[in-house]
Amino acid sequence: MGSNGKWSTADVPDQSDRIAVVTGANTGIGYHTAATLAHRGAHVVLAVRNLEKGNAALARIVAAHPRADVTLQELDLGSLASVRAAAKSLRDAYPRIDLLINNAGVMYTPKQLTADGFEMQFGTNHLGHFALTGLLLDNLLRVRGSRVVTVSSNGHRFRAAIHFDDLQWERHYDRIAAYGQSKLANLLFTYELQRRLAAQQKNTIAVAAHPGTSNTELMRNLPGILKPANALLAPLLFQSPAMGALPTLRAATDPEVEGGQYYGPDGFAQQRGHPKLVSSSAQSHDEELQRRLWTVSEELTGVKYPV
């Protein structure tokens, strides 16, 4: 760590010979996560929905570090067909995967459905990543020190519950509560995955992180009533996407990290700052809730895990 005891990109160990798959890597936190891993020597796969934006991100990474080893993989987390196709390509290309970083996400979207009829935030943020992780897990299980890092949010605390009686918000849509459900699901998934991994093997761990409040493209769907306050408070409350990526990078690379941990900023209310071990809500640690969500997720996606 730095002389001030704060963890930064300087603390990311050499990543040579490691394969890292980062979803949503064309912008914001995902971009900075992917760029840092590539600059540290990893072969990084930018798993993105929009290949044009993905190519631009790849060009930026290589322009900054000409020896960076970066490739693109088309992936639309809102389509299980796309997730299955991407997973097959990745499995075939990379028999061994060291890092899967489930970063991509949508926030506060107007009511929309994925290609499979899921509510957009739950379908993209949770179910898409649940399916992708399950389909790639065999390739991670072979690698000592491999990790699944899933990006959650402070939003897992706000009006958050798993609405098993209406998971897809068909009766009444609340974009903030739906986001909270999806981010709570990310943590329930991480903790249940870690328990299953720990029971069977020692190679792979599951970890979670959150970026605090970062000024990224996620903010584009803020409700109109919040936009003036957002513009006013952003310089005080928000941190850069590069800072927002640090908790993810620490969860992915710090040798001291253990399975089932959660990393976030060290500042006031975990809004901004350098990454440290943080706690998540009591609800996220409810083992019955974790197992129930897992069972429903397997049913909805048709993906069965090898653990």
Domain boundaries, the chain: 13-301
For residue 5, what are the CA distances in angstroms to 51, 80, 252, 258? 39, 43, 19, 20
Active-site residue, selected from the candidate residues 179, 191, 262, 263: 179
- In order, the DSSP letters of 269-287 are GGSSSSEEE----TGGG-H
Q: Which CATH number fits domain 13-301: 3.40.50.720, 3.40.50.300, 3.20.20.150, 3.40.50.2000?
A: 3.40.50.720
> Cα–chain-centroid distance for residue 211?
10
Per the annotation, the verdict on 263 as an active-site residue is: no
Q: CA–CA separation, 124 vs 149, rounded Å?
A: 16
H-helix or E-strand spanning residue 138: helix 129-141
Angle value at C-alpha 167, between 163 and 168, nearest 5 degrees: 140
* pTM for this prediction: 0.94
Q: List per-residue pLDDT tens for the chain, 307 residues long.
A: 876 889 999 999 999 999 999 999 999 999 999 999 999 999 999 999 999 999 999 999 999 999 999 999 999 999 999 999 999 999 999 999 999 999 999 999 999 999 999 999 999 999 999 999 999 999 999 999 999 999 999 999 999 999 999 999 999 999 999 999 999 999 999 999 999 999 998 899 999 999 999 775 545 565 665 656 555 665 567 899 999 999 999 999 999 999 999 999 999 999 999 999 999 999 999 999 999 999 999 999 999 999 9
